[in-house]
Amino acid sequence: MTRLCVIGNSHIVSLRDGWESVSGEFPGVEATFFGAPVWLMRRLQRSGSELVAGTPELAERFASSSGGHSSIAGSYDAYIVYGLALSPAALSGLWEAYRSLDYASDGRALLSRRCHHQAVLALLTATPAGRTLTMLSRATRAPILLLAAPMRSDEDPAYLEAPIGNGDDRALNDSFLAGCRDLAHKNDARFAQQPQATLGACPLTTLRRFALGAGLTGPKTEGDLIHMTGEYGALLLRQVLADFLKAGAGARTSSRSPHTPRSSAG
C-alpha cells in the first residue's frame, strides 16, 4: 500500500473529488487530504518529522479534511503540496515595477534575466506553498510533488488584465513556471504544471468549464472564479500521479532512512 498525503488549501477539493473518479486506476494507493484556508495554513509549524497545527482551529480543519488526523506525519510514502497561493498573482508587484528583456519594453526598471528570476524565486518561496514545502522537505525523505494553484477562470476579464493586455502574459507565465521548478528543485521535490487541456487562450487562465467547483466550506458560490471541478482534479491526477509515484522511489535518495528528517530547523 502506498500512502499518499495531499496538503493544501481549498483547492484540494478538486483533487479529492477527482480522486474519487480515478482511484480505481491506482490500485494500492491510499490518499489522505489535509486542507485549510491559506490564512490558517500560515500557522503550520514543523516539529521534528511532523508538520503540526499552530492553532486549535487549524488542527480541527485538518481532522475534518483528513478523517481524524490533526497533524501531518512524516511517514507517508509520498506527498503533494497543492495551491497555497502559489500562483502568478504572487508576482504582481514585481511585474508592475520590474521587467527583464523577455517582457514588453516600457518604463519599468530593467533587470537581468538572472536577477529577475531570483526575485521571482524569492517571492514564490515566501508563499504559504513555499513555506510548507520547505518545512515538509525537512520533515521527511519521501518524494514530494509541488502543484501550483489552478489559473483563474477565463470568465474573469479583469484578472491580470494589464500583463495580458500588453502582451506580457506568456513571459509572466514562463517566469512563474521557471520559479516553481526551481522552488521544487531547491527542496529536492518535483514540480508539475497545469494540464495544457485545461488552459484558456491565455496561459494565465483556465477554461471556464473547469471553474465550477466547490471550496472547503461547501458548494460553489456566485462569482467564484478560482475553485475547479472534480473533472479538473481527475485530469491533473491522471497527468502527474503515475510518473510521480513511479519515479518517486528514488527521487530523494539519501544515506538516511526513508523517513528520517533533515537536521535543520523548520
pLDDT, tens digit, for every residue of 66-93? 999 999 999 999 999 999 999 999 999 9
- Phi and psi at residue 32, to the nearest 5°: -125, 135
Residue 253 lies inside a defined structural domain of this protein: no
Residue 72 lies inside a defined structural domain of this protein: yes
Higher-confidence position of 25 and 254? 25
- Identify the weakest region by mean pLDDT among 104-108, 120-124, 213-217: 213-217
Residue 69 lies inside a defined structural domain of this protein: yes
Residue 155 lies inside a defined structural domain of this protein: yes
Matching residue, cell 502527474: 240
CATH code, domain carrying 201 = 3.40.50
Domain of 233 in residue numbering reads as: 2-248
Q: DSSP 3-state assignment of 12?
A: helix
Backbone φ/ψ region at 165: left (φ over 0), alpha (ψ -120 to 50), beta: alpha
What's the pLDDT score for residue 247? 77
Q: Kindly give the pairing relationship between strand 109-110 and strand 44-47.
A: unpaired
Q: Please give the span between the terminal C-alpha atoms of the chain, in angstroms, as a whole number.
A: 29
Nearest-angstrom CA–CA distance, 207 and 196: 10
Residue 261 lies inside a defined structural domain of this protein: no
Nearest-angstrom CA–CA distance, 67 and 168: 43
Q: DSSP 3-state assignment of 206?
A: strand
Domain count along the chain: 1
Residue 262 lies inside a defined structural domain of this protein: no
Residue 150 lies inside a defined structural domain of this protein: yes
Higher-confidence position of 220 and 132? 132
Residue 258 lies inside a defined structural domain of this protein: no
pLDDT, tens digit, for every residue of 241-260? 988 988 765 555 443 334 44
Candidates 242, 135, 251; CA nearest to 190 is 251
Higher-confidence position of 209 and 58? 58
Candidates 167, 219, 129; CA nearest to 137 is 129
Predicted TM-score (pTM) of this structure: 0.90
Nearest-angstrom CA–CA distance, 218 and 223: 14
- Phi and psi at residue 206, to the nearest 5°: -110, 145
159 has a pLDDT exceeding 90: no
Cross-strand partners of 143: none
